[in-house]
Structure 1
Amino acid sequence: MDTTPNTPTPNTTTPAVVRDGLLAGKVAFVTGAGSGIGAAAARLFAREGARVLLAARTESRLKAVTEDIRGLGGIADYTVCDLADADDVRAAVDRVVHLYGRLDVAFNNGATGTPPGPMDQVREADFDHVYTVNLKGTWLAMVAEVTAIRATAGTGAIVNNSSVGSLWGNPELPAYGAMKRAVNSLTESAAVTYGPEGIRVNAIAPGTTLTEMVREWEDNSPGVIERLNARTPLGRAAEPEEIAQAAAWLLSDRSSYITGTVLRVDGGMSA
């Protein structure tokens, strides 16, 4: 639901695969790739010349996105993976190397949320699940990805998907914001640790983006998108591909001197 219908939106026409694109010749791994930002990223990375392995929990969605990519001439496969399962995460990264012989870049996008509300209304089970998926799952993926990059490509790049909700107090989504802030810290620590090996690690912090998670938030709190858009200088929510474009650039060699940053992709909301 974009509450500013007169605002121009980006052209999302899907071109054919660009063989000399941003990620040409690279092997990419994307979590949460069945929908939203992850699906947009998988499609974009393939168009930009990467061979892509998609990972998420729902096979039907993964299969649909993979078939879309292949239909446009891209190279893609998928693996079912639950970020709450450590063995699943490690096996998914191993499968990238098994399929394509290497790993160059990874986009850790997969995440879950909790019903909006103040901290005292967050159920302990929900808090634990958000921790397991959004923080521990990202940590597990990063460790496996660094190991795979080091053993195959030698150098590479990782991007973690954070949130502008991690950058300030988040009374409506306190557990989600806390885990994403911790992801920022993991990102910075990994950048310092693995930079000397030529492995760059960055994060993106999207603002309001028209994903299932945000639409569910709108369903639970009618008017929230309009309220967030009113705080955004560009006056609208992002399309998932706009966020994916930032991730693609950070994973590409064009950002070769950038590591340890949390890039705000938020239409100016945090300015």
Structure 2
Amino acid sequence: MIKSAIVTGASSGIGLETSKHLVNEGWKVFGIDIKYENNDALGELSNNKLFKPLVCDLACEDAVYKSMNIIQKEAQSINALIACAGILRLGELSQMSIKDFDLIFNVNVRGLWLSVSQSMPMLKNASKNSGTARIVLLSSVSALRPKINSGAYSASKAAVSQLTRVLAVECAKDNILVNAIAPGTVDTPMVREQSSPDKQGNWRPSGPSPLGRISNPDDIVKVIKFLLDDNSSYVTGTTIPVDGGTQAAFIPPI
């Protein structure tokens, strides 16, 4: 039987890499994102019948409901939800606009929660049929220690880690495992954009880890795949750092 997954943030970065890996392994992937660019990597994926792109603004509940209804009509059960979508807005908390603060939480927390709640009937169906289903949420090392000039983002990701713990307990009775991954700096379009000289200000990525490099999306996908397979059947309610030891290293404030 073909397994099915919903991947949010599927048009770039970790979400795109996750979608590509799952499709290559024979999964049916419903890829949700606010827009899809015509880049070569996505074009190749879009031509695969196992990948269905859906344009959806996670900050809009009606858009989430519509997308999930489309998915449910095509696949009554979903084996995994991988929530990779997220946004970053920089600024000190005392100076950040209400608009930016609300946008961060509407996408990173509220949109994530909507994705989980609306996909839950499909996840429960999969669990009944196959014995288990999985939810993997993208938190961040920023949730585990403060990040310079991105307090709202850090707080939103801390909320994701706490949602992970609560959901894991709530979903245990249905054999749905819920975990989060906390990447350090990952080479994604979002990070590259915020690291550009005209936007950087006094913010910077976590920098090279003790391993001497930042991560690439494939580093994160390998851990996601672990959380989707039988080797993680007793792992739930945890946030796994995938940061090359960044947490262990002291980075002084600028």
Pairwise TM-score range, normalised by the shorter structure: 0.7 to 0.9
Q: Please state if 1:224 is matched with 2:204.
A: yes
1:170 to partner: Cα distance: 2.5
Q: Please state if 1:50 is matched with 2:27.
A: yes
The whole-number CA distance in structure 1 between the counterparts of 2:66 and 2:7 is 14
Q: Which ranges of structure 2 fall in alignment gaps of 5 or more residues?
A: 249-254
CA contact (8 A) 2:185 2:207 kept: yes
Q: Secondary structure of the residue that 1:94 maps to in structure 2?
A: helix
The whole-number CA distance in structure 1 between the counterparts of 2:230 and 2:67 is 24
Of residues 60, 69, 73, the one that matches 2:45 is 69
4+ residue stretches of structure 1 with deviation over 6 A? none
The letter of the residue matching 1:93 is M
Q: How does 1:53-132 map to 2 (within 5 A)?
A: 53-61=30-38, 65=42, 67-69=43-45, 75-115=50-90, 117-132=91-106
Q: How does 1:94-243 map to 2 (within 5 A)?
A: 94-115=69-90, 117-154=91-128, 155-219=132-196, 220-221=199-200, 224-225=204-205, 228-229=207-208, 232-243=209-220
CA contact (8 A) 2:165 2:238 kept: yes
CA contact (8 A) 1:93 1:148 kept: no
Aligned length: 242
1:92 to partner: Cα distance: 2.0
1:266 to partner: Cα distance: 0.5
More deviation, 150-159/190-199:
150-159
TM-score (norm 1): 0.83
The whole-number CA distance in structure 1 between the counterparts of 2:142 and 2:24 is 30
The whole-number CA distance in structure 2 between the counterparts of 1:266 and 1:61 is 30
TM-score (norm 2): 0.88
Q: Secondary structure of the residue that 2:182 maps to in structure 1?
A: strand
Root-mean-square deviation (CA), in Å? 2.1
**Residues 201, 126 of structure 1: alpha-carbon distance in 2 compared, 3 angstrom cutoff:** same
Of residues 215, 231, 251, the one that matches 1:254 is 231
